[in-house]
A = this chain, B = another copy of it.
């Protein structure tokens, strides 16, 4: 089964014909490590599904410090949702941390597909709800947990991440300096 279909069918069931229609709206794209798919200022009109690889979406502040909003790995979706939904210039950038294979759908095609296939409207609605819950829990974690606790939770939830991405990026995700993160590990 196509990995995208396997992913979608975790939430809704599709017929062969329906999945063919869904897939026809996506385009494949390959990117190498250090290449970007979104740059600050872009009007983002694509949402990416990660077939293989690893990416980061991040914000660079006035002092040049990087703050990571999201990592994306296999079976995750990534884009700047603010720009994608509101059609405003992106405040963030998205880069590949590894060579990556992506499937993307444009905003226009997503609108067409959801209009044509109600199941996919429900799929993205569910994704959006779950995404919101995950963000809420991250806020809670930033409010109530110390850097050490946030580190432990992340390590337990996504151990693969620590194998794949440099520690300084983990630090930028947790909201601590890389030096502090290094000291937390011991």
A139 interfacial by beta-carbon distance below 8 Å: yes
Cα(A125)–Cα(B123), bound, Å: 11
Interface size on A, residues (CB 8 A): 29
* CB-defined contacts of A82 to chain B, threshold 8 Å: 133, 136-137
User: Oligomeric state, in number of copies?
Assistant: 2
Kindly list chain B residues whose C-beta atoms are within 8 Å of the C-beta of A143. 59, 67-68, 142, 175
- The 10 A-B residue pairs with the shortest CB-CB distance, nearest first, are A135-B135, A67-B143, A132-B132, A142-B142, A128-B128, A143-B175, A61-B144, A82-B133, A125-B125, A67-B144
User: A: which residues have CB within 8 A of B?
Assistant: 59, 61, 65, 67-69, 81-82, 85-86, 121, 124-125, 128-133, 135-140, 142-144, 175
